[in-house]
Structure formats: structure tokens, C-alpha cells
Amino acid sequence: KKTIFLSIGGYHSKTEMLESVHILAELGYTLYASKGTADYYQSHGIEICVIEWPFEEDISNEKTGGVAKNVSDFLHNKD
């Protein structure tokens, strides 16, 4: 299973990565991203799933069930 998590800084960095992320999607990778990163790439027609950061103060534990300690734990336990 080909899965990639993306969390890319500012607008300029996201723009620089746009072509590469598009290629990853075309190659059949399942793409996950932090909210800002996912919003950017979704607005450019790339299918990408939003993952809430379980360690951010303003994010609820609803999606993570309070179990995930970091993003890799969340991705591992997501199904």
C-alpha cells in the first residue's frame, strides 16, 4: 500500500511541490496531509485526505479517539 503524509510549510513551498504531489497522485499513492496542505492541493484538483494533528491544542480528539500520540500512530491505526 503506497501512502504518503504531507505537511508542507508556507504557500511558496506548497507551490514548489505542486507538480511533484500531482505526480505522486497519478502514480496511485494515497495522499494524506495536514489541513493547510490538504486545502492547498485539493484546490488544485489533487485528491488528498485531511489528517488533523492529534497534538494540536485546538483540535478535538474525536478523529483520533485520544489514542494517537503522533501522526505515524494515527496513520497506522486509522483503519
pLDDT value for 52: 76
pLDDT value for 72: 65
Q: What is the third-level CATH fold of 3-77?
A: Rossmann fold (3.40.50)
Task: Quote the DSSP letter at residue 5.
Answer: E
pLDDT of 76 above 80: no
pLDDT digits (tens, 9 = 90+) for 38-60: 999 999 999 999 887 665 555 55
The stretch 14-34 carries a mean pLDDT of 96
Which grid coordinates are listed for 64? 483520533
Which grid coordinates are listed for 57? 491544542
**DSSP-derived 3-state class of residue 10:** coil
- Per domain, the residue ranges of the chain are 3-77
The stretch 61-71 carries a mean pLDDT of 52
Maximum Cα interatomic distance, the chain, rounded to a whole number of Å = 35
